[in-house]
Chain A
Amino acid sequence: MAEEIKCACDSTNVALFSCSGASNVGQLSNQLAIELTEKGVGKMMCAVGIGGQVSGLLRSAEGCDRIIAIDGCPLNCTKKALELSGLEVDRHILVTDLGISKNKDLRVKGPELADTLEKVSEILAN
């Protein structure tokens, strides 16, 4: 069956940016953005495109009503990249604040994702 084409002109646009960095928490931030997009919390957008000053991505972020930034670690690269481009972050999620220590493992563990997603969903609901 052909996939239904959904218009991208939503009444409320929420942008989700993750650092997607080279660590367990960076990759977890990426998975969280995917899961939150699939749950309809917002739309995942390309954070690296903001750093790269890609006009379409900058204009898309500017056109959103709210911006949620998900950083893996306290380097806060996503939040900083957005702010350097003049974009205000409405909600900031820091994965290491959710009880996960940063390491160099790039594979996201299923239980960690489920547990963190639950915590993030609670934070965003309040």
Chain B
Amino acid sequence: MKIEVLGSGCAKCNKVKEIVEKVVNEAGIDAEIIKVEDINKILDYGVMVTPGLVVDGDVKFAGKIPSEDKVREWLTQ
């Protein structure tokens, strides 16, 4: 699984990366976690507000910090 955390590096973006790493570790998911900070690459996904989360090319959310439960649902479904 390829997980991309979109955001240029502020506290909100880092928080999302933390949540993703926690869920991945707890659930034992085999995943590559990438932080995407290039605004042009973020725009390539159509994402206009960050933080954002992309799982295997599918944009799951943008603009807010998701709950841990929601992230778990996206990564384990």
Residues of A within 8 A of B (CB): 5-10, 13, 15, 43, 45-46, 49, 54-60, 62-64
Contact = CB atoms under 8 A, between A and B. Distances in A.
User: Which has the most chain B C-beta neighbours within 10 Å: A6, A9, A58, A59?
Assistant: A9
Contacts of A58: 59
Interface in B50-77: 50-52, 58-64
A39 B8 CA distance: 22
B49 A60 contact: yes
Interface of B: 7-10, 12-13, 39, 42, 45-52, 58-64
Given A7-B9, A46-B46, A59 B52 contact: yes
A8 B61 contact: no
A8 B59 contact: no
A7 B50 contact: yes
A13 B46 CA distance: 16
Given A55-B58, A59-B52, 14 more contacts: A7-B7, A9-B7, A13-B49, A56-B52, A56-B59, A57-B47, A59-B59, A59-B60, A59-B63, A60-B46, A60-B52, A60-B62, A63-B61, A64-B49
Contacts of B46: 46, 49, 54-57, 60
A5 B63 contact: no
A55 to B, nearest CB: 4
A7 B61 CA distance: 17
